[in-house]
Amino acid sequence: MTKTQLILQYLKLNRVSYSLAIVFIFLVNWLQVEIPRYIQLAIDLIEDASTQGHAQLKSYVGIVVAMSVAMMVVRIWSRIYALNPGRITEAALKNTLLQKLNQLPNSFHERFASGKLISIINNDLSGVRLMFGVGFLQFFNALLALSLTPLWMWRISPELTLYSVIPIAVAFVVFRIGFKRMKSLHMEHMARLQDLSAQLMSYLSGIDLIKSQQMSRWVIVEVEKLNQLLLECRMKITRIQVFYMPVLDYGNNIMKILILGLGGYMLMNQELSLGEITAFLTYSVLLAMPLMGLGRIATIFQRGMVGLTSAQTILNAEVPTNDKRLLEEKAVSELRGQCFSVKNLSYRYTDEERLILDDISFDIPVGRRVGILGSIGSGKTTLVNCINHHLNVPEGHIFLGDRDITSFPRSDLRRFIKTITQDPYLFSASVEDNIRFGSKHSEVSQQQVDEVLALAQLSEDVSRFEHGKQTLVGEKGIMLSGGQKQRLSIARALLEPAQLIIMDNVLSAVDYETERKILEGLFARLDKQSLLVVSHRVNALEYMDEIIVLHEGKVIAKGNHDTLLRTCPYYLETWQLQQDHPEDASC
């Protein structure tokens, strides 16, 4: 989508409001140029001592007062209808960006730090709001004022009007030079702001590490580097705004001097009346505001265009073709109860030459409990991210029934697979709200919430909290222990059923007894659902129907716990090590 298409889209969205705004802005400017004309007529009648002259003077004064009151009312309406579209556009564009970000694959989010995306949505879009609001208002104000006012000036004196244009024309040339230089600086300013936002987000996420390792001084120096670059860019913009943008105001002041000098000369030669000179000067004052406003309009326009450029980074990002459509309910029904299969899957990351997964094959039948054992770096999480299609998997390797998972949208795949990661994300809300977030339906009962809390072995902990299920967990669950966070994420995933539940090392922060109770509860509940438990702890897998042993990206053995103890030396060695050194089982 081009900038022109974006602008037209939101102009169309606010077409009614903009149409009314233009009408009211025209009325304001028409009243502005009509009032000086009646002031001119009134001044020229001051010396008329006749009764008829006094009556006419009173009528002109009354007209000026009435027009001034009308102009005030109309100006209010013009601002209401001109400024509201800015907020409406900002809200609509933010919603569009959020929906698009939710559709984009992990490969996009790996290229753009969260801080940059937040800066685009919060900072860059404020320029779009100003362009569609204040920018629109001031543009049409300036356009109509600079069209109507010179026309009324021309009616009084074409010669004086032509002389008045000379300083304005020179000022426009200088203004144009400054306008061009500001464009690149605004682009640089937004980029610097995004870099600073991304860096601050990164440091705030690791604030505990920074404090414990006494890295505060280093962090301050790094932030100051970006701050200085941002300041230098901002100062360059300010210098242009100070030296180039006010040039139109200087031109307007020179124009007034010309009007006073030449107008006075014409008055002495009786070419113009005192009322006409007064009206002409009033028109020059009316020109001052739009001329001074052109500098601000230019700045707002540039900020808006930079904001649209940033928004295009997200809007024009490529969404995989399959993710743009949804499966029909009939197809969804046919896929329910089908077996998940991994066939000869190999995977390498784009920046690595070695294979992370090498020719992996196994099945996960309905209701089957499958475990994956492997040491750190064996490829367990990569395998999980391939199965749930977080990574761009090559076609023809992972199937649901007889359908390749790459052939239907990721959003539909999430209907069948729920993944609980080893690093659970919790929202800064209550315990209950974090659980309910796992459901698309608002009519989830308290009984269901209590049930999944019990399954996750978290009920007793929650009962000890001061506010029970309404206890706030803090940002990223900072108020909870590591084990409580993991169990809360399990409860959230269990609230709504899924065909396959993947638990990626989520029991690493709980003790053996809690782990056993959680798994027993899951086995009892997940009668017709499949379970894939990934761990480097044998104790977490010994009750599985089948265990797949992964080593350096390859499957070296399959079987249940007893079979692997007899047939797989690696499995036996790992089990014995964790029996002799229980602390290793939770590392």
Please tell me which of 12-26, 266-280, 330-344 the model is most confident about, judged by mean pLDDT: 12-26
pLDDT at residue 73, rounded to an integer: 92
The values of phi and psi at residue 377, to 5°, are 90, 5
pLDDT at residue 24, rounded to an integer: 93
**DSSP 3-state assignment of 500?**
strand
What is the C-alpha separation between 179 and 237, in angstroms, rounded?
10
What is the C-alpha separation between 563 and 486, in angstroms, rounded?
30
The values of phi and psi at residue 283, to 5°, are -65, -35
The mean pLDDT of the chain is 81
Please, where are the H alpha helices in 420-560?
431-436, 446-455, 459-464, 482-494, 512-525
Residue owning tokens 């199965």: 387
176 vs 11, higher pLDDT: 11
**pLDDT digits 0-9 by tens, 403-444:** 888 887 787 787 788 888 877 778 888 888 888 886 765 577
Q: What is the mean pLDDT of residues 266-278?
A: 75
30 pLDDT band, cuts 50/70/90, is: confident
How are beta strands 398-400 and 340-347 bridged, if at all?
antiparallel
CA dihedral 115, 120, 121, 122 (to 10 degrees): 80
pLDDT at residue 348, rounded to an integer: 87
Residue 161 has pLDDT above 80, yes or no: no
**pLDDT digits 0-9 by tens, 170-209:** 777 777 677 677 777 877 887 888 888 878 877 777 777 7
Q: What percent of the chain has pLDDT over 70?
A: 90
Contacts of 138 (CB under 8 A, 6+ apart): 290, 293, 296, 297, 300
Helix pair angle (512-525, 446-455), 10° resolution: 130
Residue 23 burial by CB count (10 A; 0-12/13-18/19+): exposed, middle or buried?
middle
Residue 565 burial by CB count (10 A; 0-12/13-18/19+): exposed, middle or buried?
middle
Q: What is the 3-state secondary structure (H, E, C) of 310-378?
A: HHHHHHCCCCCHHHHCCCCHHHHHHHCCCCEEEEEEEECCCCCCCCCEEEEEEEECCCCEEEEEECCCC
Residue pair 496/448 in contact by the 8 Å Cβ criterion: no
Q: What is the mean pLDDT of residues 76-104?
A: 90
293 vs 563, higher pLDDT: 563
Please tell me which of 84-88, 206-210, 269-273, 373-377 the model is most confident about, judged by mean pLDDT: 84-88
Please, where are the H alpha helices in 356-494?
380-387, 410-416, 431-436, 446-455, 459-464, 482-494
Residue pair 94/11 in contact by the 8 Å Cβ criterion: no
Residue 377 has pLDDT above 70, yes or no: yes
Residue 241 has pLDDT above 50, yes or no: yes
Sheet with 398-400, strands from edge to edge, namely 357-364, 340-347, 398-400, 403-404
Residue 221 has pLDDT above 50, yes or no: yes
Asked which of 91-100, 291-300, 402-411 is least confident by mean pLDDT, the reply is 291-300
Contacts of 208 (CB under 8 A, 6+ apart): none
Q: What percent of the chain has pLDDT over 90?
A: 9
pLDDT at residue 586, rounded to an integer: 40
Longest CA–CA separation in the chain, Å: 125
Q: What is the mean pLDDT of residues 275-287?
A: 75
**pLDDT digits 0-9 by tens, 507-553:** 766 677 777 777 777 777 776 788 888 888 787 788 888 999 998 88
Q: What is the mean pLDDT of residues 76-89?
A: 92
Q: What is the mean pLDDT of residues 435-463?
A: 79
Residue pair 152/190 in contact by the 8 Å Cβ criterion: no
472 pLDDT band, cuts 50/70/90, is: confident
